[in-house]
Amino acid sequence: MIHRCIPLALIITALMLPAARAQAPCGTHGDRGTMLVSTAWLAGHLKDPDLVIISIGPKSDYDSGHIPGTRYLDHMETHTMADKGLTVELPPMAQLKDVFEKVGVSNQSRIVLYDESKDALTAVTRVYMTLDAMGLGARASLLDGGFLMWQKEGRPVSKSVPAAVKGKLDLCPQNDVIAEIGYVSANLHKGGVAIVDARAPQFYTGATIPREQRAGHIPGATNLPFNTFTEADGKWKSPDELRAMFTGVGVKPGDRVVSYCHIGFQATVVYFAARYLGYDARMYDGSWQDWSAHTELPAEIASSAAPRGR
């Protein structure tokens, strides 16, 4: 039987719970309830005052049509070439603050990222990882299926560019997103740390050698190619399917998943999926470009990319 004398304070608290979840504090990572949103969800929230929709991909695609209210972000502004000569590295937080404020992001914003085409998936997950490193991971989502799914469902498309309204950010940078080379080299074959190579199998095995780099992979790493995480329609595989992919290559519950690729794009797909599943995830930003350049570090060749336990 329902008690008729429930205190008013409890009623107010209960009513505020969804809002409290939406107002995740800076520094909170996203989870399965926040990291992906459906096209139906986005269609129902287009008028939300704090919503910031960001298109990632070629500017020409954005100009030819986008989800109403979407702002365009050149994802090339969200990474930089570091002093050590690597192609893609996370830039200083002050630089990132300016980049995202220009597209209207503030601390209270609910951010939805989407790709104009399936070819931009790695750029979208890279931007998500960047927001996570800035402390905004719990306030950011990917649109499941991207713009192609939005179009397929006959939802509205616009060529109008929203007026620029600069955001205001006070960041709380996180130290549990990026892994450096020292951490990776110190955790080869270590229990509790799963190193995952997101490149195509031929690079992992060493059958194909990247230009001006060594053949093979980081010793002990397993292989989960970045392009195996989504379906043909661009939607992400189910949580059960994704978890089976990780367990199938020997990743155990409670493992810290450290992903890498060629230069730091493809690995962010693995990073996103691992965070989505609740793993403690890291991304080795220097990736194989960095590891290969350190010739004192070992490289491993494999006859195949078949899954193996650790």
pLDDT of 22 > 80? The answer is no
Q: How confident is the model at residue 11 (pLDDT cuts 50, 70, 90)?
A: very low
Closest C-alpha among 77, 82, 175, 76 to residue 135:
175
Between these two residues, 205 and 5, which has the higher pLDDT value? 205
For residue 49, give both structure tokens.
Answer: 């005052």
C-beta of residue 243 within 8 angstroms of C-beta of residue 138: no
The residue with tokens 């990882």 is: 129
Angle subtended by helix axes 121-134 and 267-277, to nearest 10: 60
C-beta of residue 224 within 8 angstroms of C-beta of residue 197: yes
For residue 196, give both structure tokens.
Answer: 């995952």
Domains annotated for the chain, with CATH where assigned, are 25-152 (3.40.250.10), 178-293 (3.40.250.10)
3-state secondary structure of 48: coil
What is the distance between the alpha carbons of residues 279 and 34, in angstroms, rounded to a whole number?
15
What pLDDT, on the 0 to 100 scale, is given for residue 26?
Answer: 87
What pLDDT, on the 0 to 100 scale, is given for residue 307?
Answer: 55
Average pLDDT, the chain: 90
Q: What is the mean pLDDT of residues 218-225?
A: 98
Long-range Cβ contacts of 13-21 (<8 Å, 24+ apart): none
What pLDDT, on the 0 to 100 scale, is given for residue 95?
Answer: 94
Burial 2-19 (b: 16+ CB within 10 A, else e): eeeeeeeeeeeeeeeeee
In degrees, rounded to 5, the angle at the alpha carbon of residue 41 between the alpha carbons of residues 40 and 45 is: 115
pLDDT in tens, 23-56: 677 889 999 999 999 999 999 999 999 999 999 9
> With pLDDT > 90 as the criterion, what percentage of the chain qualifies?
80
What is the distance between the alpha carbons of residues 101 and 76, in angstroms, rounded to a whole number?
16
For residue 100, give both structure tokens.
Answer: 């995202």
Which amino acid would we find at residue 250?
Answer: G
pLDDT of 178 > 60? The answer is yes
What pLDDT, on the 0 to 100 scale, is given for residue 304?
Answer: 72
**CA-CA-CA-CA dihedral for 215, 267, 249, 141, to nearest 10:** -170
Burial of 119 (0-12, 13-18, 19+ CB in 10 A): exposed
Rounded to two decimals, what is the model's pTM? Answer: 0.90
What is the distance between the alpha carbons of residues 274 and 189, in angstroms, rounded to a whole number?
19
What is the distance between the alpha carbons of residues 257 and 279, in angstroms, rounded to a whole number?
7
The residue with tokens 């209960």 is: 14
What is the distance between the alpha carbons of residues 46 and 66, in angstroms, rounded to a whole number?
13
Q: How confident is the model at residue 84 (pLDDT cuts 50, 70, 90)?
A: low
pLDDT of 182 > 80? The answer is yes
The dihedral through the CA atoms of 39, 45, 51, 55 has a sign that is: positive
Q: How confident is the model at residue 164 (pLDDT cuts 50, 70, 90)?
A: confident
What pLDDT, on the 0 to 100 scale, is given for residue 15?
Answer: 37
pLDDT in tens, 146-161: 999 999 999 999 999 9
Print the SS3 string covering 193-249. Answer: EEEEECCCHHHHHCCCCCCCCCCCECCCCEECCHHHCECCCCCECCHHHHHHHHHHC
